[in-house]
C-alpha cells in the first residue's frame, strides 16, 4: 500500500532511499524523490545513499563514476539533505549491502525477477548481453533497505515494483527462517509529480539516460537553459483546461501542470484554477520563472560545494561509518538465524 509522508509519521519508522550516481540529477529526481527526502528528515531517522553498486550494473568510466558520486552528493546537500540530521554515504563504502544482497539472491526466485519491468526496459533487445548484476539489481535494492530494517522508502513511481519485490523478499526470509527479523517496508510516493515526464514526449519518463538534454531540466542547468528548455517543451495548441479530467488525454499539458504543482507545492487543481483557459504562451514563462526560482539556488550551492572535494569525501566517510554501525548488527542477526554463524 502506498502511504503519504504524513501517514507514515504516525508509526515513526526509519527511512531509507537511494539515488544512482550516473550523470546529473534532474527535475524528475528532485520532484519525485529528493524533495520528499528533505521534508522527511525533520521527523524521521533518515538514511540516504548514493548507490554506486547499482550504477555499475551498466558500464561506467572510473573517473566519471568517481566524479558523479561527488556531484550527486553535493547535489543532495545543495537540495537540503543535511548530513548533520541524516546519514549520507555511498553504498560501496558499506560492505553489508553487497553481503545481504547475495543472501537475498538465494531467497528471491527467478520468477519474481523475471517480472521486473525496469530490467526489460534497461536491457532492451540485447538481453543476452545485459550483466547478471542488472538482472539481480532488485535483490541488492532490497538489501539496501532491509540491512537497516527501514520501514519507509520515499521513491518515485517507477520504483514501486522494486519495493513490492523487497516486501516479498522480507516476507519470504521471515517465513523461511521462522523469524520476524525484517519489517515489510512501505513506499512513500508523492501525490504530485511522482512521475515527471520528458519535456519532448509526455509519454516517456524524464531520465538521466535520455540522449537528448532538451528532454530534462538538470539541477545544474543555468537560468537561461531552464527558461529555454521550458519555452521549447512540447505542448498542444489548446489553452489549459479548467478541470483535471480534461488533462487526461493531453500528456504534455498534464506533465507541465504536474511540474508546476510540484515546484509550487500546490495541487494540480490549484494550478488549473489559476491558469485554466489561458494558453501556453502565458503559462510557460510563469513555469520557467518558478523553475528558475527553485532550481538555480541548488545549482549555485552545488558548484560551491564541488570546489572542495575533501569536504564532500569527509561527509561520505562519516556517513559510511554511521551507516555501517547500523547495518552490522542486522547482518549479524541474519547470519545467526541462517546458521552462518554460531
Using the rule CB under 6 A, is 97 a contact of ligand AMP?
Answer: no
Q: Please give the grid coordinates belonging to residue 275.
A: 491558469
Provide, rounded to whole angstroms, the least separation between the CB of residue 202 and ligand AMP.
12
153 contacts 185 by C-beta, under 8 angstroms? yes
Distance CA 290, CA 29 (A): 17
Q: Does 153 bind ligand TRP (CB under 6 A)?
A: yes
Is 335 a residue of the active site? no
Residue 149 backbone dihedrals phi, psi, to 5 degrees: 50, 40
- CA 125 vs CA 114, 120, 122, 130, 186: distances in Å: 15, 8, 9, 10, 32
Exposure string for 253-262, b = 16+ CB within 10 A, e = fewer:
bbbbbbbbbb
57 binds ligand TRP (CB under 6 A): no
Helix axes 268-275, 280-306, angle to 10 degrees: 130
Q: What's the rounded Cα separation, in Å, for the pair 215 and 96?
A: 37
Q: What is the contact mask toward ligand TRP in residues 162 to 201, using x (rule: CB under 6 A)? A: x---------------------------------------
Query: Which of 45, 52, 71, 144 is close enough to bind ligand TRP by CB under 6 A?
Result: 144
Cα–Cα nearest to 68, from 228, 287, 220: 220
Of 14, 15, 24, 33, the residue at the interface with ligand AMP (CB under 6 A) is 33
Catalytic option among 35, 205, 229, 284: 205
Taking alpha carbons only, the member of 172, 195, 187 closest to residue 111 is 172
Please tell me the count of residues contacting ligand AMP according to CB under 6 A: 16
Which of 13, 28, 138, 258 lies at the binding interface for ligand AMP (CB under 6 A)? 28
Candidates 122, 200, 208, 234; binder of ligand AMP (CB under 6 A) is: 208
Minimum distance, C-beta of residue 207 to ligand AMP, in the bound complex (Å): 6
Q: Which does 205 bind (CB under 5 to 8 A by kind): ligand TRP, ligand AMP, none?
A: ligand AMP
Identify the residue whose cell numbers are 550551492.
Answer: 301
Quick one: what does residue 206 bind among ligand TRP, ligand AMP, none, with the CB cut-off 5 to 8 Å set by partner type? ligand AMP
Smallest distance from ligand TRP to CB 165, Å: 11
The answer to the question of residue 51 lying near ligand TRP (CB under 6 A) is yes
- Asked if residue 143 binds ligand TRP (CB under 6 A), the reply is no
**Least distance to ligand AMP from the beta carbon of 333, Å?**
28
Half-sphere exposure at residue 180, Cβ-oriented, CA atoms within 13 angstroms: 0
Q: Which stretch binds ligand TRP (CB under 6 A): 154-162, 207-215, 245-253, 278-286?
A: 154-162
Q: Check: CB of residue 91 under 8 Å from CB of residue 54.
A: yes
168 touches 178 (CB < 8 A):
no
Catalytic positions, please?
122, 205, 208
Q: What is the binding site for ligand TRP (CB under 6 A)?
A: 16-18, 20, 51, 54, 141, 144-145, 153, 155, 159, 162
Amino acid at each position: 500500500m502506498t502511504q503519504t509522508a504524513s501517514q507514515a509519521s504516525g508509526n515513526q519508522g526509519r527511512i531509507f532511499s537511494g539515488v544512482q550516481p550516473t550523470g546529473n540529477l534532474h527535475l524528475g529526481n528532485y520532484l519525485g524523490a529528493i524533495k520528499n527526502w528533505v521534508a522527511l528528515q525533520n521527523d524521521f531517522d533518515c538514511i540516504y545513499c548514493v548507490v554506486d553498486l547499482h550504477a555499475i550494473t551498466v558500464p561506467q568510466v572510473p573517473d566519471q563514476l568517481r566524479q558523479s558520486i561527488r556531484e550527486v552528493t553535493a547535489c543532495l546537500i545543495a537540495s537540503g539533505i543535511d548530513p548533520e540530521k541524516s546519514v549520507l554515504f555511498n553504498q560501496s563504502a558499506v560492505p553489508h549491502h553487497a553481503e545481504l544482497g547475495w543472501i537475498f539472491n538465494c531467497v528471491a526466485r527467478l520468477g519474481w525477477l523475471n517480472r521486473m519491468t525496469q530490467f526489460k526496459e534497461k536491457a532492451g533487445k540485447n538481453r543476452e548481453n545485459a550483466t547478471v548484476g542488472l538482472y539481480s539489481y532488485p535483490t541488492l535494492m532490497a538489501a539496501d533497505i532491509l540491512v537497516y530494517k527501514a520501514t519507509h522508502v520515499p521513491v518515485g513511481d517507477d520504483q514501486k515494483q522494486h519495493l513490492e519485490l523487497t516486501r516479498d523478499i522480507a516476507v519470504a526470509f521471515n517465513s523461511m527462517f521462522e523469524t520476524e527479523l525484517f519489517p515489510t517496508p512501505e513506499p512513500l510516493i508523492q501525490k504530485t509529480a511522482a512521475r515527471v515526464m520528458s519535456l519532448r514526449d509526455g509519454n516517456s519518463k524524464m531520465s538521466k539516460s535520455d540522449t537528448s538534454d532538451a528532454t530534462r531540466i538538470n539541477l545544474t542547468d543555468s537560468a537561461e537553459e531552464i527558461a529555454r528548455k521550458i519555452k521549447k517543451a512540447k505542448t498542444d495548441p489548446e489553452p489549459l483546461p479548467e478541470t483535471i479530467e480534461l488533462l487526461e488525454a493531453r500528456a504534455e499539458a498534464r506533465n507541465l501542470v504536474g511540474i508546476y504543482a510540484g515546484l509550487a507545492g500546490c495541487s494540480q487543481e490549484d494550478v488549473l484554477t489559476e491558469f485554466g483557459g489561458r494558453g501556453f504562451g502565458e503559462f510557460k514563462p510563469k513555469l520557467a520563472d518558478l523553475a528558475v526560482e527553485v532550481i538555480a539556488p541548488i545549482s549555485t550551492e552545488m558548484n560551491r560545494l564541488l570546489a572542495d572535494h575533501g569536504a564532500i569525501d569527509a561527509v561520505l566517510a562519516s556517513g559510511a561509518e554511521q551507516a555501517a554501525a547500523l547495518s552490522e548488527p542486522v547482518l549479524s542477526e541474519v547470519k545467526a538465524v541462517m546458521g552462518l554463524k554460531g
